Structure 1
Amino acid sequence: MQTEKVIDHIVNWLKEYATNAKMEGFVLGISGGIDSAVTSSLCAKTGLRTLCVEMPIHQAPSQVTRAQEHISQLKKRFANVSDVRVDLTPVFEGFKSQLPASQNDAYLDLSLANTRARLRMTTLYYFAGLHRYLVAGTGNKVEDFGVGFFTKYGDGGVDLSPIADLLKSEVYEIGRALEVPSSIIKAAPTDGLFGDSRTDEDQIGASYDELEWAMKMMDEGKQIDDFSGREKTVFEIYKRLNSANQHKMKPIPVCEIPLILK
């Protein structure tokens, strides 16, 4: 990958999109992970206003520390970067207190995890509306178009996606070129939505390197029977998640009414 040229391409794309939309800049959530660090750095390089928002909800201290380290570094390098912290923990707890007792505990944790992501999306759009900013998505290609590892109308609710055509390994490569803090580069990827130490790999059952391989194999038309051992397991995981999460990747289905009925 021609890293510097890719960076310039994305930065120019962001700036052109915002200018054509007559918007003043960008807003995005900073999690302490590589994707939000790279995306915010790219937005900052446009020279347009870039608002970095911390939105902790029972967040692990290590994630908070990494997020703050990145924001501090970014503000020193770019005068157009600002930040705000919105503690959503009491909002989340208040929301939970108003819900009826769950009769289906098997899906309770996942439902609440997705609720966290949707509270954050709502917060970002508050600031977007207030300042005429675009909400910048932080999803990469494997997450957004491979296994659908994001929350519908949560972190998937954005105005534009600067890094969604980059594999996770490519995001790391760009992150190093953009001088993202090493603490973020080295950290195990996690969505931080469950209030514990589980990583993305714990949830998915495969690493991003493995998922990238499976994505390539599926694009080449390979089938499960073409593999054995760990490769077969990973390919099965990828294919299952890709199929199950198509509803996230495709446009909302519209029931079209035949003209004869109108």
Structure 2
Amino acid sequence: MAVSPLQLAILLGRSTRRALRRGVPRGEIVRQVHEIGFRSLLLVFGGMVFFGAVMTAHGAYQARKVVGDLSIVGPAYFEVLIRELGPTIAGILAAVRIGAAISAEVAAMQVTEQLDALRLSAGDPYAEVAFPRIVGGLIGVPALLVIGTAAATLTTVVVSTYAYGADGTAFMDPTFVDLGDIFAFFAKALGYGLAIPLAAVQSGFSARGGPGAVGAATTTGVVASCMLVLILDLLISALLFYTGL
């Protein structure tokens, strides 16, 4: 079972068109924002706290070996965290949790014929199942990435100050941060927020067979979501580089 860009494009177009035609399910969207955002918060926050601590330890080792002062690397680290490491590491953490949850849920609905029952009752799986999860991802994932990046930044400040005796505020110095870095962050956040639920829903819709199909769909959803995060990271970074942002 594989997920192709064409399948994702068709899913996005069909879900959006049918939801707008039938009416946007606002209540389900709110529920999905809660499921995607709030229920993934602990994983993303905790993971980024440890990531910030590890990066600080690595930065301290390299800085003391080369220049002897950890605070010198602070502004450059802050730029890299906002433009590259923050959104991508947090995006992968989110992709694991969200990709597994959505893929398993939709696949279970598929193999137990709940989606067929929805169609027979004049419902539409694209409008009522896929679309709320896509919109929930577009809202929830960027919020998670903002919180995760902030957690990594604050962890770096605390660890560099109390563990290494450096000026922790240097790791929040915006000297090297410009509008291009902010734009890159939110471009990646929105891209990940769209790609993760699309891959997960498509994996669930493609499930066929018995209970074992749910596990296969979940695996596909997680792998596809994580790979899309990395691919989008490369594409967006390359595009911004060639456009001078």
TM over 0.5: no
What TM-score do the two structures reach when normalised by structure 1? 0.28
Which structure is higher in RCO with an 8 Å CA cutoff and minimum separation 6? 2
The structure that is helix-richer by fraction is: 2
The structure that is strand-richer by fraction is: 1
What TM-score do the two structures reach when normalised by structure 2? 0.29
